[in-house]
Structure 1
Amino acid sequence: MKSATFGEVFAVREFRVLFGSFALLVGGDVIKMLALSVLVYARTGSPGLSAAAYMAGWLPFILGGLFLLSLADRMAPRALMVTGELIRAVTCLLLAYAGLPVWAMLALVLVTGLFSPVFFAARAAMLPEVLPGDAFVLGRSLLNVVSASAQIVGLAVGGVFLAFAGPSGALAATAGLSAVAAVVLRAGLPYRPARGAAGAGAVRETLRVNGRLLSDGRVRGLLLAGWLPCVFLAGAEAMVVPYLGGQGQAGVVLAAAAGGMAVGEFAVGRFAAPGLRERLSFPLAVLLGVPWLFFATGPGIGWAAGLAAVAAAGLSYQLGLQRRFVDSVPEEVRGQAFGLQSAGLMTGQAAGAALVGGLGEVIAPGPAIAVAGGAGVLVALALVRVLRPAPAAVSRLEQ
């Protein structure tokens, strides 16, 4: 299989639209959750409620992933994505100016968040349709790079908006970004029909297809390979703040991790040939855990940032799984398959943060980070048969 290039990927108009709107989505969501957290804290003075507000947009992901994902295949993808942006815009305006009590603000974010995995699934499933062959994997890597970059930029821009316009102004700006993204999607994407036909209710169909996907050994193995190593990465990152004593230095380490992820995705996606990319999945998954082992020695902020960056670069192991995942799932449920992949990843990261956080209470943050790294290495070794593709499959890619 011939390696794709950036020029070939960006020459596709639909990808440019997906790329630009995704950057607006990620950056806007970061600003929204940061502003909501500040707004809740200003009203209540409660650190716990402020933290709950920051996480509220992600908590419903598991429920939406379990019960609503079939909508990603039963509705036209452009309409779904535009609807998602408009819902986000209206939500931000209500949070900013409706004068809602705190409980109603959190409830609004939770309810609208139930549909987030559906909107994400529609976008992810459209990517292999507009970028065939190796271009799909390179496009996926570019979206991962822009995700990491938009998170960093979103935090910086959000801080500026909060300083000059307050949380309501920042929320209004996020609503504007969502409105722009909706226009870009509506004007830039052609109409594509739904992949699947409407049948049973959305909840029943979602449960049925999730069961069908998880009962397939090949699909289940690829899903677990995409989820489990990231559980312990998230757990290690969740311990960075307490490891550094709750100081602002943690932001440097977490920003370094985001930068390492972006560099790894860019390098592997662009410069590794398709066959090499799949062979790299196993060693890169191991790399995801190894650097965290050195936190047992108590590194300072400089070494901690470097170790976090190297570990996060290992996230590019997932690029070697993407082609096989697309080939393994039936086209008519591709949207739900990508949604299940994302929902499981979000759930696993939350579970990893909780597990390693609890361990940190018992044995201190540094050793807990090292344990998380060791567990990540062991998981990668246990998944070696999935992470390491069959030689015959790799040979076909290199022909």
Structure 2
Amino acid sequence: METATFSQVFAVKEFKVLFASFALMIVGDGVKMLALSVLVYTSTGSAGLSATAYMAGWLPYIFGGMFLLSLADRLPSRALMVTGEVVRVVVCLLLAFGGLPVWAMLALVLVSGLFAPVFGAARSAMLPEVLPGDAFVLARSLMGVVSASSQVAAMAVGGTFLALTGPSGALAVTAGLSAVAAFVLRYGLPYSRARGEKRHGAVRSTLRVNGRLFTDTRVRTLLLAQWVPPMCLAGAEAMIVPYLGGTGQAGLVLASAAIGMAIGEFVVGRFVSPATRERLSLPIAVCMGAPWLAFVFMPGLGVAAVLAALAASGLSYGLGLQRRFLEAIPEDVRGQGYGLLSAGLMTGQAVGAALIGGLGELAGPHVAIAVSGAVGMIMGAVLLSRVR
């Protein structure tokens, strides 16, 4: 298989549409959650509720992933993605100008977030339909680059609009970004038919197919191999704020991690051949945990930022699993397969942060970070050896 190039990937109109709408979504979601957190804090003065608001957009992933993912195959992909953007427009405008009490704002974000895995799964399932072979893997790489870059951009854009217009204005900007994305998707993509059949209800079908996928040894191993190392990475990153004493310096370290992730995805996706990429997935995954071990020696801010960037660059190991995962998922449930992958990633990162956070309370943040790295190395080696 030949290595794909950027010119080949961006020559496909459908990918350009998916790429642009994904970037708008990531930036918009980052601004939305930041603005909502500020809005809740200014309304209540509660740091706890503010943190809850910031995380509320991610919490429903586990429930949407468990009960609703079959919709990604039962309904046309373009219609689902457009619907997802319209839902974001409505939610942002209600949060900004609806005059809702705090409990209602949080409930609105939680309920609307239940369908986020479905909308994301529709996009992921469409990629291999428009980009075959290694072009699909390069496209996944570019999505990883834009995800990391857009998270950093979201913080900058969100902070700017919060300063200029306040949280309501920032939410209105997010609604505008989603409206643009909906327009681009609707008129930039051709009509697509549903992949799956509607034999049973959505919840029943989701449970049945999730069970079918997870009892397949090959699929289960590939899922765990893509869930567990990022879970350990998230646990280590969750300790950066307490490690640095709760200061604003943590933002520099976390931004460095996002930049490292973008560089790793870019280099491995574009400049490493498909066969080599698959051979390197195991050593890259193992090495991803190694930089965190150095936190036993309690490095300063600059060294911590470099270590975090090196660790996050190792997330590129997942590119070596993309072909195998695509081949392992039956085409008629491809949307649900990718939705399950995404939901597990989100859930695993939350679990990793909670577990390592508990260890940090007992042993100190620097020890917890090192332990997270060690566990990631061991589990990465075990799981990817089974994949091989």
Q: Deviations over 1:256-282 (max 9, x none)?
A: 000000000000000000000001100
Indicate conservation of the 8 Å contact 2:77/2:194, yes or no. Answer: yes
Q: Are 2:131 and 1:131 aligned?
A: yes
For 1:200, give the aligned amino acid: H
- In structure 2, what is the equivalent of residue 395 of structure 1? none
Secondary structure of residue in 1 paired with 2:3 = coil
- In structure 1, what is the equivalent of residue 58 of structure 2? 58
- In structure 1, what is the equivalent of residue 25 of structure 2? 25
1:309-348 matched pairs, under 5 angstroms: 309-348=309-348
- In structure 1, what is the equivalent of residue 372 of structure 2? 372
- In structure 1, what is the equivalent of residue 78 of structure 2? 78
1:1-399 matched pairs, under 5 angstroms: 1-387=1-387, 389=388
Unaligned runs of 5+ in 2: none
Give TM-score scaled by structure 1 length: 0.97
Indicate conservation of the 8 Å contact 2:281/2:384, yes or no. Answer: no
Give TM-score scaled by structure 2 length: 0.99
Secondary structure of residue in 2 paired with 1:289 = helix
Distance 2:354 2:165 in 1: 34
Identical residues among aligned pairs (%):
70
Deviation, structure 1 residue 124: 0.2
Q: Deviations over 1:238-268 (max 9, x none)?
A: 0000000000000000000000000000000
Distance 1:14 1:25 in 2: 16
Secondary structure of residue in 1 paired with 2:367 = helix
Distance 2:310 2:362 in 1: 27
Q: Deviations over 1:83-105 (max 9, x none)?
A: 00000000000000010000000
Distance 1:62 1:219 in 2: 19
Distance 1:313 1:95 in 2: 35
Q: Superposition RMSD on alpha carbons, in Å?
A: 0.6
Distance 1:32 1:327 in 2: 36
For 1:242, give the aligned amino acid: P
Deviation, structure 1 residue 230: 1.0
Secondary structure of residue in 1 paired with 2:195 = coil
- In structure 2, what is the equivalent of residue 397 of structure 1? none
Distance 1:87 1:119 in 2: 10
Cα distance, 1:384–1:75 mapped onto 2, change above 3 Å: closer
Deviation, structure 1 residue 288: 1.4
Q: Deviations over 1:44-66 (max 9, x none)?
A: 00000000000000000000000
Distance 1:229 1:197 in 2: 34
Distance 2:244 2:386 in 1: 36
Secondary structure of residue in 1 paired with 2:191 = coil
Number of positions where the alignment pairs a residue of Structure 1 with one of Structure 2? 388
For 2:375, give the aligned amino acid: A
Unaligned runs of 5+ in 1: 390-399
For 2:13, give the aligned amino acid: R
Distance 2:198 2:171 in 1: 36
Deviation, structure 1 residue 385: 2.0
For 1:235, give the aligned amino acid: G
For 2:253, give the aligned amino acid: V
Indicate conservation of the 8 Å contact 2:282/2:385, yes or no. Answer: no
For 2:101, give the aligned amino acid: P
Secondary structure of residue in 2 paired with 1:193 = coil
